[in-house]
Structure 1
Amino acid sequence: MKRLLLLASTASLLSTLPAIALPACAQDDAGKDEIIVEGTRLDQRVTENGSSVAIITEEILSQYTFVVDALATAPGVTVNQNGGYGGAASVRIRGAGSEQTLVLIDGVAVNDPSAPGGGYDFARLDSDQIARIEILKGPQSTLWGTDAIGGVVNIITKRPQDGLGATLFGEVGSFDTRRGGAAVTGANETGDFRLSASRTDTDGISKADEDNGNTEDDGYEMTTLAARGGLNLPAAARLDVTLLYTDAGTEFDSFVFGAEGNVGDGGETSETEEFSGNVSLSVPLFDGKLENQLVAGFADIERVNFTAGAESFSAKGERSLLRYQGTLTIDAKSTLAFGAEQEETRADGDETSITGLFALYELKPIDSLTLTAGLRNDDHDRFGAETTGRAAVAWTPRETVTMRASWGQGFKAPTLFQTTFLCCGLTEPAMDLAPETSEGVDIGVDLRTPGGRGSASVSVFAQDTENLITFNIGRYENIAEATSRGIELAGEYRLTGWLSLGGTYAYIEAEDGDGNELIRVPPHSATLRAGIDPEGPFSGSVDLRHTGEQMDSTGPVDGWTRVDLNGAYDLSETLELYGRVENLFDADYQQLLGYGTPGLSGSAGIRVRL
């Protein structure tokens, strides 16, 4: 019955599409079907993947200091941050909770095991280390197991480049912000490597909104180190290593009961160290028909908070992973991916483990049609086994049209915190906690102009989540449910050889089981972009971002619109000047109730490529 309701909801949304005008957009789409989506485990082209996927390229990432700001440009993605500049940043996909978003860095889950809901804080991701981000929308547990209940953010760090080279950059900006970094990269027949480092320091702004009388700036500093390399072995085998380390310090404000958002000036600081990495061995067999990959991954996070210089809170979480995946090319029409993985999670002296078995099958009965199906079983040492399924279809009857649909299931095991925390006179936590589960459907159409100058995309979706774990009178219990349905539009078009226009829009109707609007999910959000790239050394863009009114835990948050400018000028083949103006019209707005955001601000820098 649940599936019928989801399908009916999606069908009703789809029936409204003829009345909706698609926005134009901004990027030459030629060759777009050659983009490979790594997060599907089958390395499918965009036109073969039946699910809705948003891809944020290195070109877009380079225009932002923090990854979280680039994520906010993707349709259906909601970003909330506590005051900017290191403030806790959450990402919701199509209304699902931020803790229901699985985050991967080079294939390793990095969600925080010590956090109450096991979510990931995006505040400390520096864009300089990232090559591409894939956002897989909807339940994806068949692909990636627990936590992928609302979607997956698959982050791919920068890979080594051919030859030997180096880059340097430095910039200064508002709020006494200083940022710089360097990278060296090389590759030859034996192997390749990339080593990089970046640093950000800023006086920041007051996390609690300055309009409420909070005048104390909250500073932020972050150092990021990254390494990636590979060794080419005999018989076409390869050994790869990736490492990412971040050390950050953030000042934040205090809980002040009765203030807007219950937040006000205070002398709180937080120090966080994060590390993730993996070692993988790829071995092809049978003339390359069977690709084998072994992965050992690790991620940990350590957080310490201080109040007036004295330690007030600390937490440490770790995740370790062992994975095998085999990808068998049966023939030109059939591919089978299968594997097993085991993950152990530890937090503050407690630990759990989960073992998963999965299989994915891709069939191309004709060149224009791709069918994908998958099944996965995860066995949790505390909560037993959970089986999830996935099916998708992508049909490209002509080069200019792709029609797609997908159905998937998700689940999320209770976190270590949820299974152990209690207060308020209770003597034991809930003993019957069950995993959260979700089911979703997605239907979409992608259109491309014959000359490759433009594209448009429409997606409608519906998702139902049950057994949501909520804090209730001293402990966590399965007492909530949620539904979300909506529509996403995206388009891009190159008007001339130097001017392009693009935009996205999302409508999300997200409610709890009683029909109440879910907090921190704006029903309406949109972005518009004008890209300028004339022949010559200059390039730039004008970006408009709008977020509609939304509910927060203690009241409504007004909608807002802001405009940003980006520009770059090539002084030579190796030297580039660049700059950014944020919030051009000094809009006064909040992302979360009581927390401030930067007004008119900007930065300028120089980049050297050797």
Structure 2
Amino acid sequence: MKKMKFNALFVAIGFATTSYVWAESNVSSKIETISVYGQFNPIDKNSMPSSVSLMNKADIASVVGNTALDVLAQVPGITINKSGNIQEIFLRGAESNFVIIQIDGVQVNNPLDSRGGSFDLSTLGKDTIARVEVIKGAQSSIYGSDALAGVINFITFDEQQEGGKVSVGYLNDGQKSATFKTGFGGWNLALNGIDTDEQAAGDSQRLAEAALQGKLTLTDSSATQLNIRFSDYQNSAFPDQSGGAEFAEDTTKERKEGQTLSASLRHQININEDYQMSLQLEHLATDDSLTSPGIAPYFMAPPAFTENDYTVSKFRWLNAVSVDNVSATVGMDYKDENGETSGYLEMFGQQVPTNYRLSRTNVAGFIDAKVDIAEASLFLGVRLDKPEDSDNETTWKLGVNYPMTNNLRLFANTGESFKLPSLYALGNNMIGNTELLPETATNVDLGVEWASEQVDISLAVFDYHYKNLIDFDSETFSLVNRASVKTQGAELILSTDLTSSSTLGANATYADVQAGEGELLSGRPQWQGGASLHLQWTDDFSAYISANYIGESSATSLHGGDFSTAILSSYYKVDLSANWQVNEGFDIDFFVTNALDKKYYYAIGFAGPEQGLGVKVNWLAW
């Protein structure tokens, strides 16, 4: 495997990091803010015209599991599917590659990925994450390509770490983890490792990651923040579509390994009270390889080896202006992508090369404005992208937030978004097509929210229409634009304080995904939901009960040599966690996964975790 390459941008900025500057606010401490990268300052959650889901440090700590996949499984409207080394997240029924994944504001989607540009969330450890922000709906007017269905941002640090903290954990079936975090003089450092024995589905994992954040104040009117994250991983599992541990004829495992580095640097200058300017550099470098034994009898999925090397650099210039009741961010960004794939397929005793190399640039400008009219706020945005070797793309959004009373608000959002064809779809020498058009989407979201000191309840209805979707055409043996998908549904989210020491949460999402005649969309249940109960029994002991329901969905497989379909039964899963604060510097987490020992499947032959126990010890070393 090749060592990761560092281009001139990363050398120039040394370290890197995403950054944002938290704006001061007079709102209640219960109202959280979200970081809209591409916008200028964080926005109060109850002022957003879009549906938003947040998870803070306490929410994440209570999750039973080790990776970001386990965390996102608790977010309303998100469904997780895992089939070997392939994992998919469906946000309100949308494809995984229709959602931008960010780590500290740096987009980490890999367009060399055969799924069209997703990110392997099993390579991001749960204990590395301090916060998760999910914005739902078309967001291309700010983020550009790929934000057809929404944006998910993982934040590694959301506050200054005091002292040094060590955590060591063990979950069922030999899943071991260790984390170290410390803070010093405006800098934060986190180290995390995961090592699992073989699990019930036949997979195993090793992960090592490090994250660093620093904040500098060069002058009274400026601030600089930088982050850097590096991960190294090795995964082993049955191949996707192989039938898993239950049906695979060949028990040889597929091996995936790689390294990822994401980094950014942001410098913000307060010119005066009405004008702020920011310059931001971002960089992503990822190098991964996949060695697959194929799926017996190997006609439809032969043995293969693939190595991907992808780098992307982005420069962003933002200007925030406020005049009376109007505030606007005017921005420009430049993006440079480079991707190279080498490998082969073993067909009829011969190795058929699958090599290609592509690069492209994109220049964009946008304006995102908020206009306060009486009690209401109107949001308007438009963006022009000029991608290399492709037509210009113009996207827009229109939103409104209207507080009817101190507790009740209405919100609405509509807009257009687009996704450029992935480098894999354009360049793959077996099925790639350089004539592919961008995929597009339009969305409408309408919602109402009631928020008080004790109760927060919201109801949103949504309508998405995706066009020019890229699909495989067996007649031409290539990828083509042809599919069209409509998704309509509703989402209900509730949080209420039952007593001063107990909090109840519940959510339900209905998403009706309508594809063209003869098209099969797997892994998308119409119904899903969840409920949670947090109990603070004493000052030193708390407990968390989480129950998730996933409705039935279709699934496909290639085991046995033929393409087959099946319906995965609906299921519900209950997890338990508890925390005991032994003393000021020492606490213990207890976990029970799949407490009711229910048998369920993510994919044909790939079962979910069995019932098991876990424990994690946390020690504030200094």
TM-score bucket (shorter structure):
0.7 to 0.9
Quick one: which of 173, 178, 183 aligns to 2:171? 173
The farther-off stretch of 527-536 and 478-487 is 527-536
* Alpha-carbon distance in 2 for matches of 1:100, 1:494: 35
Q: Encode CA deviations 1:457-502: one digit per residue, 9 max, x unaligned.
A: 1000000010001121321110111000100001011111222211
* Alpha-carbon distance in 2 for matches of 1:564, 1:257: 29
Structure 2 equivalent of residue 588 of structure 1? 599
Structure 2 CA distance for partners of 1:504 and 1:382, relative to 1, 3 Å? same
1:62-77 maps to which residues of 2 (within 5 A)?
A: 62-64=61-63, 65-77=66-78
Structure 2 CA distance for partners of 1:431 and 1:251, relative to 1, 3 Å? closer
Structure 1 equivalent of residue 617 of structure 2? 606
Q: Encode CA deviations 1:582-605: one digit per residue, 9 max, x unaligned.
A: 100111111122212210012101
Q: Which amino acid aligns with 1:98?
A: S
Q: Encode CA deviations 1:159-190: one digit per residue, 9 max, x unaligned.
A: 4517x511111112211222111111134xxx
State the aligned residue count: 555
Structure 1 equivalent of residue 395 of structure 2? 388
Pairwise CA distance, 1:263? 7.7
Quick one: which of 435, 443, 447 aligns to 1:432? 435
SS across alignment from 2:404: strand
**Are residues 1:475 and 2:478 paired?**
yes
* Alpha-carbon distance in 2 for matches of 1:565, 1:594: 26
Structure 2 equivalent of residue 135 of structure 1? 134
1:77–1:93 contact (8 Å) kept in structure 2: yes
Quick one: which of 264, 285, 296 aligns to 1:278? 264
Structure 2 equivalent of residue 423 of structure 1? 430
2:236–2:256 contact (8 Å) kept in structure 1: yes
2:200–2:610 contact (8 Å) kept in structure 1: no
* Alpha-carbon distance in 1 for matches of 2:169, 2:241: 36
Structure 1 equivalent of residue 571 of structure 2? 560
2:222–2:267 contact (8 Å) kept in structure 1: yes
Q: Which amino acid aligns with 1:363?
A: V
Pairwise CA distance, 1:516? 5.7
* Alpha-carbon distance in 2 for matches of 1:514, 1:563: 37
Q: Encode CA deviations 1:55-80: one digit per residue, 9 max, x unaligned.
A: 11111112232121121222211211
**Are residues 1:341 and 2:333 paired?**
yes
**Are residues 1:202 and 2:196 paired?**
yes
**Are residues 1:576 and 2:612 paired?**
no
**Are residues 1:321 and 2:314 paired?**
yes
1:277-316 maps to which residues of 2 (within 5 A)?
A: 277-285=263-271, 287-306=272-291, 312-316=305-309
SS across alignment from 2:607: coil
1:289–1:330 contact (8 Å) kept in structure 2: yes
The farther-off stretch of 243-252 and 170-179 is 170-179
Structure 2 equivalent of residue 182 of structure 1? 180
SS across alignment from 1:32: coil
The farther-off stretch of 572-581 and 312-321 is 312-321
Structure 1 equivalent of residue 531 of structure 2? 528
* Alpha-carbon distance in 1 for matches of 2:492, 2:68: 22
Q: Which has the higher contact order (CA 8 A, sep 6+)?
A: 1
Structure 2 equivalent of residue 114 of structure 1? 112
RMSD: 2.1
Structure 2 equivalent of residue 266 of structure 1? 252
Q: Which amino acid aligns with 1:230?
A: K
Structure 2 equivalent of residue 497 of structure 1? 500
TM-score (norm 2): 0.85
Structure 2 equivalent of residue 48 of structure 1? 47
1:13-32 maps to which residues of 2 (within 5 A)?
A: 31-32=29-30
* Alpha-carbon distance in 1 for matches of 2:583, 2:250: 48
Structure 2 CA distance for partners of 1:128 and 1:431, relative to 1, 3 Å? closer
Q: Which amino acid aligns with 1:471?
A: F
* Alpha-carbon distance in 2 for matches of 1:472, 1:262: 27
Pairwise CA distance, 1:573? 1.3
Structure 2 CA distance for partners of 1:355 and 1:312, relative to 1, 3 Å? same
SS across alignment from 2:110: coil
Structure 2 equivalent of residue 414 of structure 1? 421
2:568–2:604 contact (8 Å) kept in structure 1: yes
Structure 2 CA distance for partners of 1:264 and 1:501, relative to 1, 3 Å? farther
* Alpha-carbon distance in 1 for matches of 2:241, 2:397: 46
What percentage of residue pairs aligned between the two structures are identical?
Answer: 23
2:233–2:257 contact (8 Å) kept in structure 1: yes
Pairwise CA distance, 1:517? 6.2
Unaligned regions of 5+ residues in structure 2, if any? 1-26, 294-302, 341-356, 557-564
Pairwise CA distance, 1:274? 1.0
Q: Which amino acid aligns with 1:579?
A: F
